[in-house]
Structure 1
């Protein structure tokens, strides 16, 4: 059954983490320049604890919050993978089903594919 317009995502909030501010800023700029994201928030560095290849790891990372649309997600994911230094980057998208209509319209306008 198709999603109703009330539950269909109007936007996506995509999370990823980068190892340092320089790579985070470079990725953010690439996404904005290609209109794959309307806005990217670079957050303060955080400490991540995770299991990788059977060992517990600890790393300082810079989280990014990326605002995009479902229509641009595939291209955004491909761009993150192409620019990300990690072998297996975290790329998690959360649907935005509600929000300030003007803001969601701005996200849509900022991610139009003008190609």
Structure 2
């Protein structure tokens, strides 16, 4: 198992996703940010079923940076409860994992 995370964050707009991704990479919290979308989301919020188009931001980062990334997201994200989850990377191509570490600061 590696110490890398794939962090998935839903964002209300492309601009919000880009701003968070850019900040995470610029501050060396994540080595890479990818943006997907828009995607259609259906969810329950305060007892009401809602639908919206959102963007998915993926960050690749060492697990040790989770707390700092979470703080960054909470500072820049407009949702009261951002959907932010991390998936562990069980395996990673060794040169790629090395590149992630070279481009982040723990």
Q: Select the structure of larger CA radius of gyration.
A: 1
TM superposition score normalised by structure 2:
0.95
Structure 2 gap segments, 5+ residues each: none
**After superposition, where does 1:1-115 map in structure 2 within 5 Å?**
7=1, 9-113=2-106
Q: CA RMSD in A?
A: 1.0
Contact kept in structure 2, 1:10 and 1:98, CA below 8 Å: no
Structure 1 gap segments, 5+ residues each: 1-6
Question: Number of aligned pairs?
Answer: 106
After TM superposition, where is structure 1 displaced by more than 3 Å over at least 4 residues in a row? Answer: none
TM superposition score normalised by structure 1:
0.88
* Separation of aligned partners in 1, 2:90 and 2:66: 15
